[in-house]
Homo-oligomer: A and B are copies of this chain.
Amino acid sequence: MTVHRQPASVAALSEADLLARIFPRLAMAGAHSEATLLGPGDDAAVVAAPDGKTVISIDTQVQDQDFRLEWPNGYRTTGFDVGWKAAAQNLSDINAMGATATSLVVSLTLPPDTPVSWVEDLADGLTAGITGLGAARCSVAGGDLGRGREISVTVAVLGTLEGNAAVLRSGARPGDVLALAGTAGHAAAGLALLESTVNVDALGESERVFLDLQCRPRPPLAAGPAARAAGATAMLDISDGLLRDGLRLATASKATVDLDPARLQALAEVLRPASVLLGADPMAWVLGGGEDHGLLATFPAGVQLPPGFAAIGSVLALGSNESPSVMIAGRPADAGGWDHFAH
């Protein structure tokens, strides 16, 4: 009788053995992708860039900063969650340029006691995130593995503009319509639930959906290229909150961003199941919550907004001596959102 034992932790495996466990789970690498010309196995990968340029971004998730392995409400973050979120965050940055992801490379830092099954689950989540979010042309082209005291997952992602110009933050013009694709505040509501004492098992489906979105964000990947094609003048993804990211767009465009309170109220209304449960102000989540990875874009007035976008405000000219800012119906809005170092 043969006994198959699952190694308990990554310390029991060589780097090559661990890679051999991960690669089959990144099934798309080199297979589905037309873009990956040379996948894992050499010192570097080679990715197609048919129009002669490559969009690139990089993003890191660190244990106990970007996720907790166990949350106050009892939820345990799975490797699948972390893999999905790594894909989602990075794919969103490509989306925000109006581009389409072609390839990503992953650097994993793992404490020696990390269960092998957790890492396999992470690989599954990465693949599921790419597939589930609709990044059908994207594959994992390569990566790096190392030790550390805390889990850290860095992804660099490449994308293609297919011959088009990127949509920058700086192109918004007075009179433009400000529009949102995707959700706002759902991930923040989910974070509040995770950090609450309301046990995860006690959550109903109408609250659980927010927790799920915090752990496995769903950026609207079709919306970025659609916005570019529709003539978006400026765009960025909302990773740090509507106010903070709105201010970035306003600053880059030297303009004022004015939000429509009725639209904000409608966005807050959706969060009611979680805000009632926690006795929280849903508007703080709408204005300050990032990590939904929705898109904030501006379009010339009169342009038909592409599918997935809804108007939430407008772009105003700067008055003399005015600094770029975010307003709500013409009144200053407090800057909130997330800052990695000062909060």
Contacts and interface: CB of A to CB of B under 8 A. Distances in A.
Given A14-B342, A18-B341, A44-B96, A109 B60 contact: yes
Interface stretch (A146-154, A190-198, A206-214, A301-309): A146-154
A53 B48 contact: yes
A133 B319 CA distance: 49
Interface stretch (A22-30, A62-70, A264-272, A326-334): A62-70
A10 interface: yes
A144 to B, nearest CB: 5
Interface string A1-20: 00000000011011111100
Interface stretch (A34-42, A122-130, A180-188, A255-263): A34-42
Interface string A36-60: 0110011111111111111111111
A169 interface: yes
A311 interface: no
Contact of A49 (B52, B57, B105): B52
Contacts of A237: 43
A82 interface: no
**What is the count of identical protomers in the complex?**
2
A336 B61 CA distance: 33
Q: How large is the interface on A (under 10, 10 to 19, 20 to 34, 35 or more residues)?
A: 35 or more
A52 B35 CA distance: 11
A99 B59 contact: no
Contacts of A37: 53
A17 to B, nearest CB: 8
B147 A150 contact: no
A166 interface: yes
A150 B109 CA distance: 11
27 contacts: A11-B341, A14-B341, A14-B342, A15-B342, A38-B166, A42-B96, A42-B169, A43-B92, A43-B97, A44-B56, A44-B93, A44-B157, A45-B57, A46-B97, A48-B53, A48-B54, A49-B54, A54-B54, A56-B142, A58-B105, A58-B156, A62-B109, A62-B147, A64-B149, A65-B146, A109-B152, A146-B340
Interface of A: 10-11, 13-18, 37-38, 41-60, 62, 64-66, 92-94, 96-97, 99, 103, 105-107, 109, 112, 141-150, 152, 154, 156-159, 161, 166, 168-169, 236-237, 252, 339-342
Nearest 6 pairs of A and B residues by beta carbon: A156-B156, A49-B49, A44-B57, A43-B96, A154-B154, A14-B342
Given A45-B55, A51-B52, A145-B340, 9 more contacts: A10-B341, A16-B339, A42-B168, A46-B161, A46-B166, A49-B49, A56-B141, A59-B144, A109-B152
